Copies of this chain bind each other. A is one copy, B any other.
Amino acid sequence: MHCDITIQTAPFDLGAEEAALRVHAGDAGALVAFQGMVRGHDAAIPLTALFLEHYPGVTEAEIRRIAGDAAARWPLTAVRVIHRVGSLAPGEGIVLVLVASGHRAAAFEAAAFLMDYLKTEAPFWKREHFADGSQRWVDAKASDGDAAARWA
Q: With A13-B15, A105-B147 given, is the CB distance from A34 to B32 under 8 Å? A: yes
> Are A115 and B111 within 8 A (Cβ)?
no
> Are B108 and A108 within 8 A (Cβ)?
yes
How many copies make up the complex?
2
Q: Which of B22, B27, B42 contacts A39 (CB 8 A)?
A: B27
* Shortest Cβ distance from residue A25 to the other chain B in the assembled complex, whole angstroms: 8
Report which A residues bind B (CB closer than 8 A): 13-16, 18-19, 22, 27-42, 90-91, 102, 104-105, 107-108, 111-112, 115, 119, 147
> Are A108 and B34 within 8 A (Cβ)?
yes
* Shortest Cβ distance from residue A83 to the other chain B in the assembled complex, whole angstroms: 14
